[in-house]
Chain A
Amino acid sequence: MSTAGFNSQNGTGTGQTYTNGPSQNPVALQQPPGVGYGMNHQPAYNPMQAKVLGPPSPALYASGPYQPVPPGPQLGSYPPPPAQPLLTRPQIGVLPSHTPPQSASPGPGPRQAQATPPAQATPPPPAVTSTSYYTGPPAWQYAAPWGPAPNHVNPAAAAPPHMSHGSAQLPGPGAPPTSIHGYPQPGTAPPPMNPPPPHTYQPNRPAYGPPPTAPPAGPPGATGTPPPPKVDAQCWRAASSARPPTEPDTQEGDVECPGDVAGNGPQAPNSYNHVDNRMAGAAQPGPPGRHLGHYPSLPPGYQNTLAPPPSSLHPALQAATLPYTQGPQPYQQPGGPGPDQLSPSMAAMSLQSGTPEALRVVNLLQERNLLPPAPVPAPTPCLTQDLQKLNCSPEVFRCTLTSIPQTQSLLNKAKLPLGLLLHPFKDLSQLPVVTSSTIVRCRSCRTYINPFVSFLDQRRWKCNLCYRVNDVPEEFMYNPVSRSYGEPHKRPEVQNATIEFIAPSEYMLRPPQPAVYLFVLDVSHNAVETGYLSVFCQSLLDNIKALPGDSRTKVGFITFDSTIHFYNLQEGLSQPQMLIVSDIEDIFLPTPDSLLVNLNECKELVQDLLKSLPNLFEKTMETQSALGSALQAAFKLLSPTGGRMSVFQTQLPNLGVGALQSREDPNQRASAKDVQHLSPATDFYKKLALDCSGQQVAVDLFLLSAQYCDLASLGCISRFSAGSVYYYPSYHHQHNPAQVERFQRDLKRYLTRKIGFEAVMRIRCTKGLSIHTFHGNFFVRSTDLLSLPNVNPDAGFAVQMSIEENLDDMQVVSFQAALLYTSSKGERRIRVHTMCLPVVSSLSDVFAGADVQAVTGLLACMAVDRSVTSSLSDARDAMTNAAIDSLSSYRQSALTIQQPGLLAPACLRLFPLYILALLKQKAFRTGTSTRLDERVFAMYQLKYQPLAFAMLIIHPALYRLDDLSDEGALNINERTIPQPRVLQLSVEKLSREGAFLMDAGLVMYLWIGRNCHQNFLSQVLGVSSYAAVPEKLCLLPELDTAESQRTRALVSWLRDQRPFFPSLHIIRDESQLKPHFMQNMIEDRTESALSYYEFLLHLQQQISK
């Protein structure tokens, strides 16, 4: 029967897998082919009405009232606030009175009481359909002035909330606004099926107000769970909802939705559970404070078995789940230990009225040292221990608000964006893999069974997304892990929030494709000058055996300058044969086969080619570049199978289709207030990318160039085909060794990392929530389905959400991302991540759950879109407003005692700092000379990098290196890795006697102070004096000293944690790169930007307006 094997990596390893035996005539499934791309183009997202009247634009900063900070040595020091009332309150510690008024009142009691047998209560609310369609709220709709928002005037949104449920019918069915890619999409006509919804403000919901003291909610049963499936009226998936939910075969174009659904068994009593739980000290009836019942709907007979299962897991399973747990939260007995012993989030819910740490009021103007000494951890959602134990790792799945507001109006009040940040294909060290002929999914919404469903009894389970009651299939009754029968709730599917299924053939439109790699190489004069070709060829030679694949793997090569060159690598040839096509206007393949060849069989020819390529074009004088035609040729070559196209380009394409002109005026880099040309100059690359996407081809772009290449246009080829973009400005094999090393390391990772082919990802969420805007590289095929011709483990995604229907009766909501892909070994697999979060009804609770990094990451994505669709200054204003609005809302609605200063809840204390960091980030900064390509690349990175890396790019980490010690060091594989404190990004923190490392994600700077300790210079850098530090040093010498070892251990540990290679620059005061280092001193004032303190004053002024 079925099973779970635990494979080490993605299951490409050979972990043991149990199986369910031969599948018995699974139902046939015919799916329409293809991707139907072009279906769903929405013209970018709604540029939020520019708040012209709003807060001061950056230009105002310069002339603002608080300018007195003299430039120069005082950088970064806090001047006394000019006109600021002296804030004498010494420490704004715990103020009981700050307890969120609302949160305390509803208390856990009533809510808990609502746990009801929901199966009965299903009042089908009328007009569900109407409310359920997402109506395209303006981009940053959370900023719509619901609450007091004195700082901006927005006529459109100023309308009072007058619309009711019924009136939300604006867009017709199937007209979801995906407003996906922020870029304008010239060439693609919006499909008839999904006309862009009118960009109106979201019809307002009747303001529920801060759900007041939750009325004791009548008899439990009456609270009624949301109506069952009702055909998913809200279903944005028009296609699937159109067909009867019972029909087993989905005819949907979505490969990810096959038939065979099944149900589940009950929460069977299990004595082990009881025992274990007692031993763990968990009170049987559940913890005090808000108990978010996992199985609220158990019939009476099962009530006493509420005991959560996890502790008696199979050891292997336990191991699998362990890494995800956040460390147990202390369970509290009622009346037990005080709030100080509670974890922040638990405390927030505790009956006691102490203020939770997350809500501790911080006066930002007074508290200077806000940065925690170590990287900021993700907040833990306020769930019961049992649920949280099972929850998805924050590294994979993160939400901007770990407590979901009950209503859209509550969300609007908080003025924080609601969205998810995902890293779905992350390399995992432990991943349960299940082979089973039946994958259990909800019959109605197709959700995969997961740890957060509830079992009504032995034979039925209730979907946690749409609440439909499903049957447990017979096969699911057997638990392969424990080899026992009748314990469906112990199956690995129900014990792991991250799991992978081996897909049956219903999930395949065609036999799994082989791994196919095509390399498209620029060999123009310019390219040869950079010398990249030999590095590339050597890298591929070195790693050719490590390319992911099996005996079917194919490779091919195309080179191009003003003509396109193909290479016949047919088995049996004595050497590769070059075929030149000079008719670039109407490109054709010179021979039908042998251009893509089986790597195993033709390895020698391939190696020959790689050895000879660098010399082949050594003397070329050809300066033109017909990139467009080369891409078309490559597309033709790959389209029958699909695969990966890796394009290496070193200049602006200037010949044939897709030719571009330089659009950058170097003189305007610094001066222009608004940056032009952030959007593509032509739709050629986007259109081609969509063609590629339709044929399961992804295009990765390596841009190595000293000059402007118009990345804004070229990048589209990767964005819409789910590729990745690498950029090596000023790459040169001799002049820029740091870039060469970076390129080499990145290539190695690129060539050898895992890869998934012909993939799609669908993100589902509990009914009532709806997903609207996606960020990352992909094509949106239908409203919640992303087409990913390739998926790689280094890609991150983000989505925005809104609350369409009130989540009144829900204690928790869930999100599920399902990624269906073909492994490089030809296995079709589905990786499923499910995250569960609590629903809250008070504004304070919403604030308490804010994940400041996720909020910042999502805002950055939104701001990138805004920069392109509207303008950079608009995006900058919007970011500033985000900080103003949320803090002002906090002050006015969540605080009970007003006090002077700029107040923020502790969990948001870093928000203004991060916003300021964004404003000073390459992507959004103004007033500093920034190359257009570098700016555009920075924007790509913000959208593409998983949150952890995006945060480093936004707010670098600064460490002092000359006094590293082993105190608090990590010990990994017998290596000691020192853990220095993270310092504020201010010159104030530097000292001439020291040496400081700044880790900015893609690059690291080691700054050596003028009077740096002799010890550091000799023991770490191996030089006798400061003056002897070489000008362009990017390597730490390997010295046999404790200091050197510590320093190198730290640097390499930092590097190892990310999938790209940051180059290290060792700089002195005189170095050319010093300005780059200084630009990252975010808290300091620069000629064109405010210091952190000034920025805070600005926020305060806006808030108190």
Chain B
Amino acid sequence: MIFLTVIARLADGLPLAASIQEDEQSGRDLQHYQSQAKQLLRKLDAQSPDRCMLEAGNMNFCYFISQGVCCLCLCDASFPKKMAFGYLEDLHNEFCEQYGKRVPAVTRPYSFIEFDTYIQKTKKSYVDSRARRNLSSVSTELQDVQRIMVANIEEVLQRGEALSGNQFGVKPQPVDQLSDSS
């Protein structure tokens, strides 16, 4: 399950678009995670690893950075890493296509909030296991998934400096460990 998705400008962490899980049943209080996401986005910069997973209790933050745009999502710890990054890349491609050129100029937070509609649709196709079969692309595009770094969100946020590769306790994990459990 994907609970929270934020797309932000890497340079200053300005949120550009977002989608929150509107599932009433989940009833989770996402406020804490939202503020962690905000802080994290402020910490990321050009030196940060472009793909990373951060553990936050029984949830994981995953982010993907490219072309000065960072896509971040919060998902269940059990959600397949491969899916998560596939989802993020998918969003990233579409987002940059639609808004990429305007990203450096905007000042208002959530300037592209209308992208929410696309996020929700895409999310549905990744979360719904039936729809997922159609996503053949995922497996091929992400061979590098093993090399994705994993760290703990609290530790990362507590460090004063910006996030960079060296600071990570880099411990690549085998994908199978996180494999499809749904």
Contact = CB atoms under 8 A, between A and B. Distances in A.
A505 B9 contact: no
B12 A550 contact: no
Contacts of A34: 31
A505 B9 CA distance: 13
B77 interface: no
Interface string A813-828: 0000000000000111
Interface in B13-44: 13-15, 17-20, 22-25, 29, 31, 34-35, 38-39, 42
B13 A21 contact: no
Nearest to B107: A19
B38 A505 contact: yes
A26 B20 CA distance: 22
B15 A509 contact: no
B107 A28 contact: no
Contacts of B113: 511-512, 514, 550, 552, 826
B14 A28 contact: no
A24 B38 contact: no
A444 B58 CA distance: 39
Contact of A22 (B15, B22, B107): B107
A514 B119 CA distance: 14
Interface residues of B, number: 31
Most B C-beta atoms less than 10 A away, residue of A34, A437, A504, A552: A552
Contacts of A28: 35, 38-39, 42
B162 to A, nearest CB: 10
Interface in A478-505: 502-505
Contact of A32 (B17, B31, B104): B31
Interface residues on A, range: 35 or more
Given A28-B39, A504-B109, A826-B113, A509 B31 contact: yes
Contact of B114 (A26, A636, A826): A826
Contacts of B35: 28-31
Given A511-B18, A826-B110, A22 B11 contact: yes
Main secondary structure of the interface of A (DSSP, over half): loop
A335 interface: no
Given A435-B108, A640-B22, A550 B13 contact: no
Contacts of A640: 22-24
A22 B14 CA distance: 8
Interface in A509-558: 509-512, 514, 550-552
B167 interface: no
Contacts of B23: 592, 640
A575 interface: no
B38 A512 contact: no
A944 B113 CA distance: 33
A552 B18 contact: no
A511 B107 contact: no
B38 A511 contact: no
Given A22-B12, A552-B114, A33 B109 contact: no
Nearest to A32: B31
Contacts of B9: 22
Nearest to B157: A28
A508 B17 CA distance: 13
B50 interface: no
Contact of B117 (A21, A31, A598): A598
Given A32-B31, A552-B116, A592-B25, A512 B107 contact: no
Contacts of B18: 511
Given A22-B12, A32-B31, A641 B109 contact: no
A57 interface: no
A641 B114 contact: no
A156 to B, nearest CB: 46
Contacts of A636: 24
20 contacts: A19-B108, A21-B107, A22-B12, A22-B104, A28-B35, A28-B42, A29-B38, A30-B35, A33-B29, A34-B31, A505-B38, A508-B109, A509-B31, A511-B15, A511-B17, A511-B19, A511-B113, A826-B114, A827-B108, A828-B110
Interface of A: 19-26, 28-34, 435, 437, 502-505, 508-512, 514, 550-552, 592, 598, 601, 636, 639-641, 826-828
Q: Please list the 6 inter-chain residue pairs (A to B) with the smallest Cβ-Cβ separation, ordered nearest first.
A: A511-B18, A33-B31, A505-B109, A19-B107, A30-B35, A640-B22
Given A23-B12, A552-B117, 10 more contacts: A19-B107, A28-B35, A28-B39, A30-B31, A31-B35, A504-B109, A511-B110, A551-B114, A640-B22, A828-B110
